[in-house]
Amino acid sequence: MRLVLLTILFFSITLRLEAQHLSPEDKTTRILFLFDASGSMLGRWEGEFRVEAAKRLLSEVMDDLKGTPKLELALRAYGHQYLKEEQNCEDTKLEVPFAPNNEDAIKERLKKIKPKGTTPLARSLEKAGSDFPDDPNARNIIIIITDGLESCDGDPCAISLNLQRKNIFLKPFIVGIGMDDKYLDDFNCLGTYLNAESQDNFKDALETALNQSIEPATVILELMDDSDKPTETNIPVAFYNNFTGNTVEEIIHYLGPDGKPDPLKVDPVIDYNITVSTIPPIRKTNVHFTGGETKKLQIKAATGYLSFKCRGFNGYKNLEVLIRKKNDPRIINVQEFKRQERYLTGTYDIEVLTHPRTRFAGVQIKNHETKTLTIEAPGLMTIMDGGKGVGAVYQVAPGKPDVWIMNFYNQGSYNLQPGNYKVVFRAKGSQGSRFTSIKTFSIRPQAATKIKLF
């Protein structure tokens, strides 16, 4: 019975974990076409009105999308209800709500849209945030078809970023109709800009956006050792949306029995910043994946191990070690003395927080090897009298200045590394600095040294 319960629990946990990592093709994809029907769309484009060319080409794409599983489409237009002279910045409307198999409904509605007014792109994006059903397991995507910039003093980039950070929709695609490259920067802050200089380019750009929206990408993440072999594994890896900074996926890297990593499905709509949580961490930015393709991503992450031991009994409690890269004052890790830790291969400066501190300079961490550093066992300094007061311990050596090691405030026992020392102490009730007591002494490993101050 116990075995059966454990088996049920295991599969229950497995199903919950798999639910947390739904790949893109397992989710419903909702694509909202945000269609520019402002007056400028009446301009000519290869012998045709821009709006008519865009309608025709978008309708052809609707036919191609028929029968696509787990796909829902919607259409919102703007600039088509009021004349340009009215400068109506609320001129945006959801013409076809989301539903399965509504390609024909979108085609029919497109036929009735006539360009008239201004370009309230920011307001349309803001309204579009409410067009998507509340469904945490859906992929919400916007494809903007436009020939111009915002004309209502709104900030479409700020609105887009805010809605993306709230996970309302993924990074939008912007298909720019007959626009100049000078608008690239204006649209890159909004999403992924695809410039359609010609009608052929328009269809290619639209198909690119749809391919990225519908087809998942597969990444084979190989963590390479110093011999450029993918043997590194069991390391946390996080994928971040490089546009919003939101966390998209977190995994512990895995190698199967065949020594190969398992494929990971990722959403190609967004670009990624990837952090491999080695010590120190490795970061790779602006990583792009293509829908329907498998990409092998190799990241150099050669590691070795660092451990510590004490030559004899370690009297310290909760001893810690500061780890720095060689000749770099910044601390990259605080390691527990009793715990082995993993680091990128390289050279490190190491400081064990003994009294006095034990330092190891230029320690080499090699791939797949464990470097073990040894400290001397401490001895015990025991203050026999003096009560409460203010005391300090200095390390002393002939011909050298005394080096301050620590302060103390009560009589008691303190661990010190082997060596020669001086204790300076003034009792709390003494009336003047002349009552300071100074004693010299030596500490031997694993031995107690008793000190009488008075």
Instruction: Tokens for 197, please give them.
Output: 């200089």
Tens-digit pLDDT profile for residues 259-286: 999 999 999 999 999 999 999 999 999 9
pLDDT at 24: 65
- 3-state secondary structure (DSSP) of residue 18: helix
- At 399-427, the pLDDT tens digits run 999 999 999 998 889 999 999 999 999 98
Per residue in 142-163, pLDDT (tens digit) is 999 998 888 898 899 999 999 9
The CATH 2.60.40.10 domain(s) of the chain lie at 217-300, 303-376
Q: Determine contact, residues 425/437, Cβ cutoff 8 Å.
A: yes
* CATH 3.40.50.410 domain locations along the chain: 26-214
Residues in contact with 70: Cβ distance below 8 Å, sequence separation at least 6, in sequence order: 25, 27, 28, 29
* Burial (CB count within 10 angstroms: exposed 0-12, middle 13-18, buried 19+), residue 409: exposed
Q: Which amino acid is at 327?
A: N
Distance between CA 292 and CA 67 in Å, rounded? Answer: 18
Measured CA distances, 426 to 144, 389, 430 (Å): 78, 6, 7
In the numeric block, the tokens 């509340």 are attached to 134
Q: How far apart are alpha carbons 422 and 441 in whole angstroms?
A: 6
**pLDDT confidence of 84, banded at 50, 70, 90?**
confident
Q: How confident is the model at residue 224 (pLDDT cuts 50, 70, 90)?
A: very high
Closest CA to 164 of 36, 267, 284, 274: 267
Report pLDDT for 413: 93
For the chain, what is the mean pLDDT?
91
Q: Are strands 389-395 and 403-408 parallel, antiparallel or unpaired?
A: antiparallel
What is the rounded CA–CA span in Å between residue 289 and residue 208? 12
User: Would you tell me which CATH number, out of the four given (3.40.50.10320, 3.10.180.10, 3.30.230.70, 3.40.50.410), belongs to the domain 26-214?
Assistant: 3.40.50.410
Q: What is the topology classification, in CATH, of domain 379-451?
A: Immunoglobulin-like (2.60.40)
Which amino acid is it at 168? I
Kindly indicate the confidence band of residue 197, based on its pLDDT and cuts at 50, 70 and 90.
confident
CATH architecture of 303-376: Sandwich (2.60)
Those residues with Cβ within 8 angstroms of residue 249's Cβ, 6 or more apart along the chain or in another chain: 21, 238, 239, 264, 266
pLDDT at 386: 64
How confident is the model at residue 136, as a pLDDT? 87
Q: Are the beta carbons of 344 and 332 closer than 8 angstroms?
A: no
What does DSSP say about strands 48-49 and 44-45: parallel, antiparallel, or unpaired?
A: antiparallel
The encoded tokens of residue 353 equal 């927080």
> Which residue, 149, 115, 125, 150, is CA-closest to 38?
115
- Element holding 167 (H helix, E strand): none
CA 401-315-408 angle, to 5 degrees, is 50
Fold classification of 217-300 (topology level)? Immunoglobulin-like (2.60.40)
Spatial CA neighbour of 374 closest among 275, 307, 303, 329: 307
- Rounded to 5 degrees, what are φ and ψ at 277? -85, 60
Q: Nearest CA to 154 among 123, 130, 179, 177?
A: 123
pLDDT given for residue 380 in this prediction:
96
Asked if 131 and 97 touch (Cβ cutoff 8 Å), the reply is yes
Global pTM value: 0.85
Can you tell me which residue has the tokens 């497995």? 14
Please give the average per-residue pLDDT across 317-335, as a whole number.
97
As a residue count, the chain comes to: 454
